Amino acid sequence: MARFVFITGGVVSSLGKGLASAALGALLQARGYSVRLRKLDPYLNVDPGTMSPFEHGEVFVTDDGAETDLDLGHYERFTGVAARKTDSISAGRVYSNVLEKERRGDYLGKTIQVIPHVTNEIKDFIHVGEDEVDFMLCEIGGTVGDIEGLPFFEAIRQFAQEKPRGEVVFMHLTLLPYLGAAGELKTKPTQHSVKELRSIGLQPDVLVCRSDKPIPQKEREKIALFCNVRKGDVIAAPDLKSIYEAPMAYHRQGLDQAVLDAFGISPAPKPKLDVWQDVQDRVFNPEGEVKVAIVGKYIQLEDAYKSYVEALTHGGMANRVRVKVEWVDAEVFEKDDAGAHLEGFHAILVPGGFGERGTEGKIKAAEFARTRNIPYLGICLGMQMAVIEAARNLAGIKDAGSEEFDHEAGKKRFEPVVYHLKEWVQGNAKIARKVDDDKGGTMRLGSYNATLTEGSRVAEIYGTTAIEERHRHRYEVDTKYRAALEEKGMIFSGMSPDGRLPEIIELKDHPWFVGVQFHPELKSKPFQPHPLFADFVRAAKENSRLV
């Protein structure tokens, strides 16, 4: 039966609860324990699948097809434990489940209320899989005091009361702001945050205090006294140069020991941190640098491309180089020459996205990489734009485009080299979709198999011809154009097992040009870089010697 750690936040958002949760999970693993991490989000969207990337950042997709918060990406990257649908829930999903049960009559005519019906639904979610691991880490989104978070805080209060003593620990993250005029860190925001938490029945066992300055002993003692925790349970969370410092930094501050002490686990197994020491060494001691352009449409918010950046960093670790990522707005190419913005980069990555805005710029980026022999990795929409570019400029299909853009414009303007996928097979089931279906959860989502062509570049990179990758898209490249494109050197080197859906394209006579319909960045980890990103950065490193 699992022990539970509930991670909450106070004072302000974006303190790094997700990173702290992931680092704690990694440290518990280093001591030999099995862990699972979960996110409970108070927003009313059923999931983040329909949210704008500007609003929420990237959507992280699990193997079983859940669209989740980007913090689940941190959980996977730091622990290597594949997230599942049962690891993410929102208030929208909770209320949806409750209302569905009410409509079916499951509550036998009872008046439906937040307590007990909504809180019971949340507790049922927390209980799922509790017998599978040693520790279950559950992060509550938002900050204490947010009105939408109250049902979640009440649910975990009840949950802790129902569990035997010693099986639940509360960890609270707060901010210690530094006032230059006073020359000191101020503890009052933390005191008020803990007071707010205690007013709803939750007493933190461990306090993690985020600051950009070291915490003097006097302030630690003050926090411990006024927040009713031991001095050793006041953990400093200083700013870091890299998120991959976090496990070692939190270990030095004693986070994992404080949590184990709170559970009464003594003596605790000694941690084996060789993996994280090696990760740190690769991050801080590179033997060179490569410049990679990410040509995207959501560049104003870097979290929109979080997993891409981390996967590039992992590829850099594999090659002992620092990857310097620079953001290029795809829309600027619609006015300017692509060369003016892409000259000097060692490689170009074009990520996924939705809608027509910026796509002509992505097409020009693919053309620039193709004609200048620059390593190119196109992911999802980035693959589709590379295919459209080749169709227009190599295969002579001048009006090549995507059905997605025609649907958006409400009229036919393109020959649809990329079309809306109406049905496909997942496992043993056939799935059908219409263009005008609801947006949420209607894409080709989750893990699918692909078969690679013997002797192709990608088969060499993967070291196999059978792979499994995660998808999130509605549109596919039409195979009826395959022969025309392959005649011009664009090889369809990865296909779905039934041969209907293109998964990977590559250029035959190019140093490194690959497009994939799936999202390899979602499966990359610092201690296990995804092979495509590792080889993409290797190609960039080779190119850097030629530039």
Cis check: omega of the bond before 351, within 30 degrees of 0: no
Tokens of 313: 């960093």
Tokens of 106: 């499951």
Query: What residues have CB less than 8 Å from 484, skipping those under 6 apart?
Result: 391, 395, 397
Cβ atoms within 10 Å of 50's Cβ, excluding its own: 15
Question: CA-to-CA distance for 356 and 76, rounded, in angstroms?
Answer: 31
User: Which alpha helices (DSSP H) does 305-377 contain, by range?
Assistant: 306-319, 339-342, 359-371
3-state secondary structure of 385: helix
Q: Which of 245, 389, 521, 530 is catalytic?
A: 521
What are the angstrom distances between the C-alpha of 534 and each of 159, 321, 342, 374?
Answer: 43, 11, 22, 16
Q: Which of 310, 380, 403, 404 is catalytic?
A: 380
Q: For residue 136, which of 144, 128, 147 has the smallest C-alpha distance?
A: 128
Is 251 an annotated catalytic residue? no
Amino acid found at 52:
S
Contact of 171 with 208, CB cutoff 8 Å: yes
Question: CA-to-CA distance for 257 and 35, rounded, in angstroms?
Answer: 16
The beta-strand segments (E) located in 102-217 are 135-140, 168-175, 178-179, 184-185, 206-211
To the nearest 10 degrees (0 to 180), the angle between helices 274-284 and 246-253 is 120
Question: CA-to-CA distance for 314 and 304, rounded, in angstroms?
Answer: 18
Question: CA-to-CA distance for 451 and 530, rounded, in angstroms?
Answer: 17
Q: For residue 322, which of 354, 360, 292 has the smallest C-alpha distance?
A: 292
Give the residues across from 470 on adjacent strands.
Answer: 447
| Start-to-end Cα distance in the chain | 57
Question: CA-to-CA distance for 121 and 128, rounded, in angstroms?
Answer: 11
Query: What residues have CB less than 8 Å from 241, skipping those under 6 apart?
Result: 284
Contact of 144 with 152, CB cutoff 8 Å: no
Question: CA-to-CA distance for 301 and 308, rounded, in angstroms?
Answer: 13
Question: CA-to-CA distance for 506 and 385, rounded, in angstroms?
Answer: 13
User: Which alpha helices (DSSP H) does 60-113 contain, by range?
Assistant: 71-79, 91-104
Which of 23-26's residues contact partners 24+ apart within 8 Å by CB, and which partners?
23/78, 23/246, 23/247, 23/249, 23/250, 23/255, 24/137, 24/171, 24/250, 24/255, 24/256, 24/259, 25/75, 25/78, 25/79, 25/81, 25/135, 25/137, 26/78, 26/79, 26/247, 26/276
Is 172 an annotated catalytic residue? no
Amino acid found at 37:
L
Q: Which of 74, 471, 519, 530 is catalytic?
A: 519
Is 407 an annotated catalytic residue? no
Q: Which residues are catalytic?
A: 380, 519, 521
